[in-house]
Structure 1
Amino acid sequence: MGTRSYQGYTHSENGWPIVDTAEIVTVTVPGTTQQIEVRRGDVATVLVGWMIWYHRNVEPIDRFKPRDDWGFSWDNDVPNSNHLSGTAVDINATQYPWTRLTMPADRVAKVRAGLKLFEGCIFWGRDWARVDEMHYQIGVNAARLKSFADKLNNGHLGVYGIPQPGTSTPAPTLTPEAPVTNIWDIPIPTQFGTQMPAWEMLSWIDGRLARTEVTVNASMEVHRQNQLLLAAILDQLGGLGTADALLGKDVPGGPFQGFEQGGGRTLYDLASALAANAGIPGALDKKENATA
């Protein structure tokens, strides 16, 4: 356990070995409610340190719900993705779609200042040919990373530990948004006291429906039983009262006495008769009994 290969690759794009979950830790970013999965050790120290600094100085990282900050991934559309090695994080992903430049200029300047403070240990996906503004990854080798991780652990930038008096950074103020020109960018209030663009809200609802579908599928056996019971009850409104086996009591038959091709049986009666003929314990042909 530890390292692995993925679609023929043993290392991710930045030169770090691809790993399994044995090398991954889940960290709640200090000062936030956000959790992130990253490679243990110096990588976690620096990437989480970057997220702390970003949250304090650029913009909140836990403003949007559901979660839109990501780290390690077991598989990926990019076979040598740095997420496979646990050495990359996506921050506020829903705000910064892949291949688009959407971050305001003043926020970009703040990120650039932070990258300098982190001494090149963090590479920003905005600088790729195919821009990825949400993406930040380890940009140095293990030896250089350890040197900077030690500095952070010893109080550098005031990222870890209790900030010394006069060194804390006030919470960032949000940059006013540009006038909305696209209907899908209209901000929609959420139950969390924030806002999200209409397209993002639609995506969130779609994801919630998907999660609900999974829950329903997990309970499908209960739904199936309820459907059978309902079918039996409806059948009795026009049949011979064969729902008593399910309901525990006799149900008066309705005016409909069954289908000619089923020997005068309703669909439920016919299924019961077939089950009885097959020798299934407890199955009963009520039509045959009624005419015997």
Structure 2
Amino acid sequence: MVRTTNNGYARIASRLSPSLTTITVGGCSTKVRTGDAATLLRWVAKQVHSGGVERASTVFGWRDPAVNAAAGGIPTSNHLSGTAIDYNGGRHPYEATRPHHWTSGWSASDQKAIRTILEATSGTVKWGLDYGPGFRDAMHFEVKASATAVSRAAARLTTGWVTVSSDFLNGRSKPSTTAPIKFLRTKGFRIRFVEVAYREGRIWLRTKYHTWYAADLTTW
């Protein structure tokens, strides 16, 4: 029996395993691998849902081995280790199931937004849309990187310090360029953030005082 999935994580046999945790996005709950994988997958799904890309209607993560086998899933599927999610699968089908006239269901602007979101994971979360022709899986997002890279990426999306790299940077009340300005920071100013979010085509950083800064104008 295959003991690991194709990204090197150990399979999880039971939904009662302490290696699984529940994430909820837009009212949709599913189980994924606890720890850094959960941090990354939850963050990606949350940004797609809340960042103006597409609201979540279904999110599926860990898959029972028996269900996976019955559905014809490969024995190394990353769903079996709780390190992958399918987001709104009914709208974004697996190409192999619809070989004729297949479309991803994502618009060009959607794809651009999602790639910005995935870039923020430092390349640790991959998209099934990038699979080879005939096997593209537009609903599918998976953790696929070394444990060290995954740990660093998860930490970067949680909290940390950055320095203002532009001459000036407005701190706003919301993650929007039209939101009221709370502070005007200058180059070299240090900011401690406690949340990272995708809005309006860019990544934003929130402080504990609920001030938002555009990440691309910092060393983040």
What is the TM-score of this pair, normalised by structure 2?
A: 0.64
What is the DSSP-based 3-state SS (H/G/I as helix, E as strand, rest coil) of the residue aligned with 1:96? coil
Matching residue of 1:53: 47
Q: Could you say if the C-alpha distance between residues 58 and 140 of structure 1 is closer, same or farther in structure 2, counting changes exceeding 3 Å? A: farther
Query: For residues 28 and 146 of structure 1, what CA distance do their matches in structure 2 show?
Result: 21
Query: For residues 161 and 12 of structure 1, what CA distance do their matches in structure 2 show?
Result: 37
How far did residue 150 of structure 1 move?
Answer: 1.5
Q: Could you say if the C-alpha distance between residues 163 and 113 of structure 1 is closer, same or farther in structure 2, counting changes exceeding 3 Å? A: farther
The question of whether the paired residues in 2 share the 8 Å contact of 1:158 and 1:164 is answered with no
How far did residue 34 of structure 1 move?
Answer: 1.7
Matching residue of 2:8: 15
**Does residue 1:105 correspond to 2:98, yes or no?**
no
Matching residue of 1:165: 211
- 2:196 corresponds to which letter in structure 1? L
Query: For residues 109 and 2 of structure 2, what CA distance do their matches in structure 1 show?
Result: 38
Query: For residues 167 and 96 of structure 1, what CA distance do their matches in structure 2 show?
Result: 33
**Does residue 1:138 correspond to 2:143, yes or no?**
yes
Deviations 1:201-227 (A, max 9, x none): xxxxxxxxxxxxxxxxxxxxxxxxxxx
Query: For residues 147 and 112 of structure 1, what CA distance do their matches in structure 2 show?
Result: 19
What is the DSSP-based 3-state SS (H/G/I as helix, E as strand, rest coil) of the residue aligned with 2:105? coil
Q: How does 1:145-156 map to 2 (within 5 A)?
A: 145-154=150-159, 155=194
Query: For residues 34 and 123 of structure 2, what CA distance do their matches in structure 1 show?
Result: 20
What are structure 1's unaligned runs of at least 5 residues?
Answer: 1-7, 169-292
- 1:153 corresponds to which letter in structure 2? T
Query: For residues 157 and 212 of structure 2, what CA distance do their matches in structure 1 show?
Result: 18
What is the TM-score of this pair, normalised by structure 1?
A: 0.49
**Does residue 1:73 correspond to 2:76, yes or no?**
no
| Higher normalized strand content (fraction of residues) | 2
**Does residue 1:27 correspond to 2:23, yes or no?**
yes
Query: For residues 115 and 131 of structure 1, what CA distance do their matches in structure 2 show?
Result: 17
What is the DSSP-based 3-state SS (H/G/I as helix, E as strand, rest coil) of the residue aligned with 2:154? helix
Q: Could you say if the C-alpha distance between residues 162 and 50 of structure 1 is closer, same or farther in structure 2, counting changes exceeding 3 Å? A: farther
Q: RCO greater where, 1 or 2, for CA within 8 Å and sep 6 or more?
A: 2
| Higher normalized helix content (fraction of residues) | 1
2:86 to 86, 90, 108: 90
- 1:157 corresponds to which letter in structure 2? V
What is the DSSP-based 3-state SS (H/G/I as helix, E as strand, rest coil) of the residue aligned with 2:196? helix
The question of whether the paired residues in 2 share the 8 Å contact of 1:13 and 1:80 is answered with yes
Deviations 1:42-65 (A, max 9, x none): 111111011111112253433x3x
The question of whether the paired residues in 2 share the 8 Å contact of 1:34 and 1:61 is answered with no
How far did residue 73 of structure 1 move?
Answer: 0.3
Q: Tell me how many residue pairs correspond in the alignment.
A: 155
Q: Which has the larger radius of gyration?
A: 1
Q: How does 1:274-289 map to 2 (within 5 A)?
A: none
Q: Could you say if the C-alpha distance between residues 162 and 36 of structure 1 is closer, same or farther in structure 2, counting changes exceeding 3 Å? A: farther
What is the DSSP-based 3-state SS (H/G/I as helix, E as strand, rest coil) of the residue aligned with 1:44? helix
The question of whether the paired residues in 2 share the 8 Å contact of 1:92 and 1:134 is answered with yes
Deviations 1:92-151 (A, max 9, x none): 111001103331111111111111111101100001111000000002121111111122
How far did residue 167 of structure 1 move?
Answer: 5.0
Deviations 1:165-196 (A, max 9, x none): 3459xxxxxxxxxxxxxxxxxxxxxxxxxxxx
**Does residue 1:127 correspond to 2:130, yes or no?**
yes
